[in-house]
Amino acid sequence: MAIKKIDIKPASGKLGILTPGMGAVATTFIAGVLAARKELALPIGSLTQMGTIRLGKRTEPRNPRIKDFVPLAGLDNLVFGGWDVYADNVYEAALQAKVIDRGMVEALKPELEQIKPMKAVFDKAYVRNLDGTHIKSGETKMELAEQLMEDIRQFKSTNNCDRLVMVWCASTEAYTEVSAVHESLDAFEEGLRNNDPRIAPSMIYAYAALKMGVPFANGAPNLTCDIPAMVELAHLMRVPVGGKDFKTGQTLMKTIVAPGLHARALGVQGWFSSNILGNRDGAVLDAPENFKTKEVSKGNVLDGIFDADLQPELYGDIYHKIRINYYPPHGDNKESWDNIDIFGWMGYKMQVKINFLCRDSILAAPIVLDLALFLDFAQRAGMRGIQEWLSFYFKAPQTAPGLPAQHDIFKQLSKLENTLRYLMGEDLITHLGMDYYEEFEKEYAALLQADA
Ligand SMILES: NC(=O)c1ccc[n+]([C@@H]2O[C@H](COP(=O)([O-])OP(=O)(O)OC[C@H]3O[C@@H](n4cnc5c(N)ncnc54)[C@H](O)[C@@H]3O)[C@@H](O)[C@H]2O)c1
């Protein structure tokens, strides 16, 4: 049964992608899109660009690329901008991040050096291991939010953009919990006027974006838009939001492997995850209050897949430990080790060892692109508030209050694909597949009858 197609506005004109934070992830993202435009590299890892989606029955040859199925902004129509506490342009910042080969950065230099960060809203209380000076000043946090809104307005008109999206690619902030000032929009705005210390810079960016009707995604584990005040504002302004913390590296592997162990009803006794990384992100996470934010975001991933209440014999006593160590010689090339103690038939013990030599920003960059394109699409489709169908991209997916997050990457993908099918008026795919055999039964019965 086909579903009514939702009315989706076309992706006409330019889409501006604004990133608070123009460090390793943001510069790798921008350089990759520019390289794809010039056909110097492929946008590998981006589901919107490289992924396909099955439509209709398995016997139908309908497997278009997602970008050909859904009306997304094209790579040629993207414009980039953002903010950073350092004044380096994107060419300089990409060289400093050392993710992309120098030759490639040089090939993109004319475009990259045109992109210069705007002055940041920054508070050292939230990121003590950075000391940039390219920062805004203002009497109150509300004044800073208004300055950001003015930046957004200026960027949109200077670059002749039709629409904008914002993706947080700045450093992980110190750990905070939801408190009274975050509970409602009124309390939050009062807090902005009173310089409430519990309002983090990332929240000021999110507030400015939503007030301007700009969809917002949070790539770091800070609360940012995952507070009631921001969800209220997103609904009020009819803007989609999503978060938090890009799912890359070790957590990506975890949410690929864990569903497999769970699917075969294998038990898990312990999961020890250790990793070393040496980029600026690693330096920020070297501060315990910033590491705590990351630890909480990474830590809940297994709980959502191995349910101790439902299967206590298998998952009632998992010891899950995560370590992140700052190790400058490795730069952005993060190395992770996982030791997984599992048990099978009659309780016999086994071990799985994973040693992932990844490149953090190479895995994160396509996520920035997909989130920007999908959030813009969601807004044109009239969706607002929390976009749980984008959980696929996050370590700690934001969900409706009280709704447990889905961490299994395969279930997240099904949800994303079915959301696209639903919005485009295609049949949802349940993988039941009995109809193939019903047709076969009919043919078979007719054959038997003809034979008799
Ligand atoms: N690389 C990954 O795989 C990955 C995965 C998940 C999450 N993340 C998160 O993405 C974020 C970016 O990672 P990265 O490797 O690019 O880090 P990075 O340190 O290279 O870049 C972050 C940039 O943000 C800037 N910044 C800090 N506070 C700011 C503020 N208030 N306003 C504007 N700019 C600010 C810093 O100066 C820096 O240039 C981090 O929070 C990281 O934890 C990264």
Catalogue all structural domains in the chain, each as residue range(s) with its CATH number: 14-246+361-423 (3.40.50.720), 250-357 (3.30.360.10)
pLDDT at 451 over 80: no
Provide the CA 59 distance to its chain's centre, in angstroms.
33
The answer to whether 271 and 319 have CB atoms below 8 angstroms apart is: yes
pLDDT at 205 over 60: yes
Q: Distance, CA 169 to ligand 1 centroid (Å)?
A: 5
Q: Distance, CA 121 to ligand 1 centroid (Å)?
A: 14
For the chain, what is the mean pLDDT?
94
What's the rounded mean pLDDT across residues 77-103? 97
Query: Of ligand 1's atoms, which has the minimum distance to the CA of residue 132?
Result: 37
Confidence of residue 3 (pLDDT cuts 50, 70, 90): low
Residue 257: the pLDDT is 97
Q: Indicate which residue's Cα is closest to atom 40 of ligand 1.
A: 171
pLDDT at 1 over 60: no
Q: Distance, CA 271 to ligand 1 centroid (Å)?
A: 27
Residue 392: the pLDDT is 98
Q: Is there an atom of ligand 1 within 6 Å of 19 CB?
A: no
Query: Of ligand 1's atoms, which has the minimum distance to the CA of residue 122?
Result: 31
Q: Indicate which residue's Cα is closest to atom 39 of ligand 1.
A: 23
Q: Is there an atom of ligand 1 within 6 Å of 88 CB?
A: no
Q: Indicate which residue's Cα is closest to atom 6 of ligand 1.
A: 246
pTM passes above 0.75 = yes
Q: Is there an atom of ligand 1 within 6 Å of 132 CB?
A: yes
What's the rounded mean pLDDT across residues 295-304? 82
Q: Is there an atom of ligand 1 within 6 Å of 218 CB?
A: no
Closest Cα to residue 239, out of 385, 374, 376? 385
Q: What is the pLDDT of residues 269-281, one digit of tens each?
A: 999 999 998 888 8
Q: Is there an atom of ligand 1 within 6 Å of 275 CB?
A: no
Residue 433: the pLDDT is 85
What percent of the chain is modeled with pLDDT above 70? 99
Q: Is there an atom of ligand 1 within 6 Å of 25 CB?
A: yes
What's the rounded mean pLDDT across residues 285-289? 84
Which one of 115, 116, 136, 171 would you pick to mutate in the ligand 1 pocket, going by the greatest count of ligand atoms within 8 A of its CB?
171
Query: Of ligand 1's atoms, which has the minimum distance to the CA of residue 332?
Result: 15
Q: Is there an atom of ligand 1 within 6 Å of 279 CB?
A: yes
Residue 4: the pLDDT is 63
Q: Is there an atom of ligand 1 within 6 Å of 377 CB?
A: no
Confidence of residue 383 (pLDDT cuts 50, 70, 90): very high
Q: What is the pLDDT of residues 208-261, one digit of tens each?
A: 999 999 999 999 999 999 999 999 999 999 999 999 999 999 999 999 999 999
